[in-house]
């Protein structure tokens, strides 16, 4: 059984072994039984390649996912939006100018339009066949642009086909953590992503509790609907109590635990401004919720510590169950270093 599914079945004995009540008291040691990792199940934290190895290749491209696996990522993440013909497309945003070559495609020039208060090209204006003629671009200007234009935009089914082919090649199981973006906005356009998601999972024999899949969303209502229709584990994304549209609709961790198996938390929620623990991970673990934090980036300032390595170490010390990162090789290296100490 894969780890995600096993987390749903975690025994109370193992869970309590990670709780403060089992910690050694002053003057006592129980090193033989103490778990090395403070994750919910005591297993090493997962390295989740955020949009693939997106720091090194254009995000959401097959090359980004291949490199992530080559660098040792445990999980790969596709974000999902909808095409005009109801197909899930692997993209972070419904607008296309920053992550594709669409601005250079004269045949699509007249489809530029205003939507959501912004002028751009939008995925609901294009069929899947049209979208997959586009190529992926590096979205961050200070990163390597030399791979732009080389890799096509993928549908979710093409992504799942790639995963299946890689699994056959490596004779191993590859975990995925898809995020459904803006489901309510797409549903309002008559493009509800839920049936498309279920259909793709069904087609790839992934619509089952034991499948190496976690579905994430910032939309609590969507996850509640999904929870009624699938046994696949679900993760509620959460940016904090004051984050507009990204605060689980004001739901408490206890309420989230009624329909989700994990929480995808903004990493800064784990630390005070002085770098002390806020207890967020422990609070979630006490409710049986895994915590996957986002997003660790080698080329951006850490929220704790002076370097990305210090940040990763602090996150792992907190007991996070997974880290989303644009640079999976670094997260693997820090985890390996800690495991060897």
- Please tell me whether residue 139 binds ligand G3P under the rule CB under 6 A: no
* CA–CA–CA angle 35, 295, 293 (5° rounding): 35
- Please tell me whether residue 298 binds Ca ion under the rule CB under 5 A: no
**Comparison of 18 and 193: residue with beta carbon closer to ligand G3P:** 193
- Please tell me whether residue 264 binds ligand G3P under the rule CB under 6 A: yes
> How far is it, in rounded angstroms, from Cα 293 to Cα 315?
8
Residue 79's beta-bridge partner residues? 179
* C-alpha count within 13 angstroms, C-beta hemisphere, residue 159: 30
Tell me the per-residue interface mask from 175 to 214 with ligand G3P, x by CB under 6 A, - otherwise. Answer: ----x-----------------------------------
**Of 98, 88, 165, which is closest to residue 132 (Cα–Cα)?**
88
Cis peptide before 295 (omega within 30 of 0): yes
User: Per the structure block, which two tokens stand in for 244?
Assistant: 């507009």
**Of 203, 240, 200, 38, which is closest to residue 215 (Cα–Cα)?**
200
**Comparison of 139 and 148: residue with beta carbon closer to ligand G3P:** 139
Query: Quick one: what does residue 37 bind among ligand G3P, Ca ion, none, with the CB cut-off 5 to 8 Å set by partner type?
Result: none
Total of residues contacting ligand G3P (CB under 6 A)? 10
> How far is it, in rounded angstroms, from Cα 117 to Cα 12?
49
**Comparison of 245 and 279: residue with beta carbon closer to ligand G3P:** 245
Query: Quick one: what does residue 324 bind among ligand G3P, Ca ion, none, with the CB cut-off 5 to 8 Å set by partner type?
Result: ligand G3P
Describe the crossing of helices 193-203 and 156-170 by its angle, rounded to 10 degrees: 20
CB of residue 278 to Ca ion, shortest distance in Å: 22
3-state class (DSSP) for residue 184: helix
- Please tell me whether residue 295 binds ligand G3P under the rule CB under 6 A: yes
**Comparison of 59 and 130: residue with beta carbon closer to ligand G3P:** 59
CB of residue 324 to ligand G3P, shortest distance in Å: 5
- Please tell me whether residue 237 binds ligand G3P under the rule CB under 6 A: yes
- Please tell me whether residue 79 binds Ca ion under the rule CB under 5 A: yes
Instruction: Tell me how far CA of residue 113 lies from CA of 89, 96, 122, 123, 286, in angstroms.
Output: 19, 11, 8, 11, 47
**Of 23, 17, 78, which is closest to residue 48 (Cα–Cα)?**
78
Among 3, 38, 50, 297, interactor with ligand G3P by CB under 6 A:
50
**Of 292, 335, 319, 280, which is closest to residue 15 (Cα–Cα)?**
319
**Comparison of 319 and 322: residue with beta carbon closer to ligand G3P:** 322
> How far is it, in rounded angstroms, from Cα 324 to Cα 239?
14
Task: Report the site for ligand G3P in 19-48 (rule: CB under 6 A).
Answer: none
Tell me the per-residue interface mask from 69 to 108 with ligand G3P, x by CB under 6 A, - otherwise. Answer: ----------x------------x----------------
Which residues sit at the interface with ligand G3P, rule CB under 6 A?
50, 79, 92, 179, 216, 237, 264, 294-295, 324
Q: Which residues bind Ca ion (CB under 5 A)?
A: 79, 179
């Amino acid at each position: 059984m894969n780890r995600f599914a096993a987390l749903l079945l975690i025994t109370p004995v193992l869970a309590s072994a990670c709780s403060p009540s089992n910690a050694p008291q002053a003057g006592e040691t129980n090193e033989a039984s103490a778990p090395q990792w403070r994750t919910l199940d005591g297993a090493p934290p997962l390295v989740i390649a955020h949009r693939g190895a997106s720091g090194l290749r254009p995000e959401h491209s097959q090359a980004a996912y291949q490199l992530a696996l080559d660098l040792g990522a445990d999980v790969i993440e596709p974000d999902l939006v909808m095409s005009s013909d109801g197909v899930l497309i692997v993209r972070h945003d419904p607008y296309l100018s920053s992550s594709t070559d669409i601005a250079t495609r004269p045949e699509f020039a007249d489809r530029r339009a205003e939507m959501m208060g912004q002028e751009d090209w939008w995925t609901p204006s294009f069929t899947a066949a049209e979208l997959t003629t586009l190529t992926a671009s590096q979205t961050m200007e200070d990163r390597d642009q030399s791979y732009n234009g080389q890799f096509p935009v993928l549908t979710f089914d093409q992504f799942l086909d790639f995963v299946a082919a890689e699994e056959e090649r490596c004779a191993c199981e590859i975990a995925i953590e898809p995020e459904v973006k803006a489901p309510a906005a797409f549903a309002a356009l008559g493009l509800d992503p839920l049936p498309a998601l279920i259909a793709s999972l069904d087609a790839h024999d992934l619509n089952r509790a034991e499948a190496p899949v976690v579905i994430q969303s910032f939309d609590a209502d969507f996850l509640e609907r999904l929870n009624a229709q699938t046994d696949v584990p679900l993760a509620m994304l959460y940016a904090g109590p004051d984050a507009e549209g990204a605060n689980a609709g004001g739901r408490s961790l206890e309420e989230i635990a009624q329909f989700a198996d994990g929480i995808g938390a903004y990493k800064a929620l784990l630390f005070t401004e002085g770098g002390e623990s806020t207890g967020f991970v422990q609070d979630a673990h006490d409710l049986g919720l895994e915590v996957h934090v986002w997003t660790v980036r080698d080329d951006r300032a850490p929220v704790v510590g002076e370097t990305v390595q210090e940040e990763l170490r602090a996150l792992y010390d907190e007991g996070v169950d997974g880290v989303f990162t644009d640079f999976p090789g670094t997260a693997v290296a820090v985890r390996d270093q800690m495991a060897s100490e």
